[in-house]
Amino acid sequence: MSVDTVFAGGILVTSHGMFQANLEIRDGRIAIIGDSVPKADRTIDATGKYIFQGVVDPHTHIKGYYSQESYETATAAAAMGDITTCINFAWQSWANTGSGVDQYLGGRRNTA
């Protein structure tokens, strides 16, 4: 099986800690984490760089009361920073303004 991409010499950041290793990608998935550097279609020198396996941002302000971000711009920016999941902040309603969800949806319930 051929290797698509190798990230060589990077510092892998996992839930178990950080360590230097090479990361092999096959068919868009992590195949092997190890010391060898096999021949690949593309080799990226990651020496001194941190490699994350995907980051969750649990508090974003996308298309909120004070945000200028659209879903398109916010998720594109997140992807550029290796953010794989965004959880939008749940705005609370102010007194006499109705449901925060209704305000967020702008009356567009059941339109999907």
Number of domains in the chain: 2
Is 112 within the bounds of a domain? Answer: no
Q: How would you classify the pairing of strands 55-60 and 50-52?
A: unpaired
Is 92 within the bounds of a domain? Answer: yes
- Residue 107 — left, alpha, or beta (φ > 0 → left; ψ -120 to 50 → alpha)? left
Q: Report whether 93 contacts 103 (CB < 8 A).
A: yes
Residue 95: per-residue pLDDT: 54
Residue 55: per-residue pLDDT: 85
Can you give the pTM of this predicted structure? Answer: 0.58
Residue 45: per-residue pLDDT: 96
Q: Residue 46 belongs to what domain range?
A: 3-52
**Are 35 and 14 members of one domain?**
yes
| Full pLDDT tens readout for the chain, 112 residues | 688 999 999 999 988 899 999 999 999 888 989 888 778 899 999 999 999 878 889 988 887 767 788 888 888 999 888 888 988 887 665 555 555 566 566 655 555 4
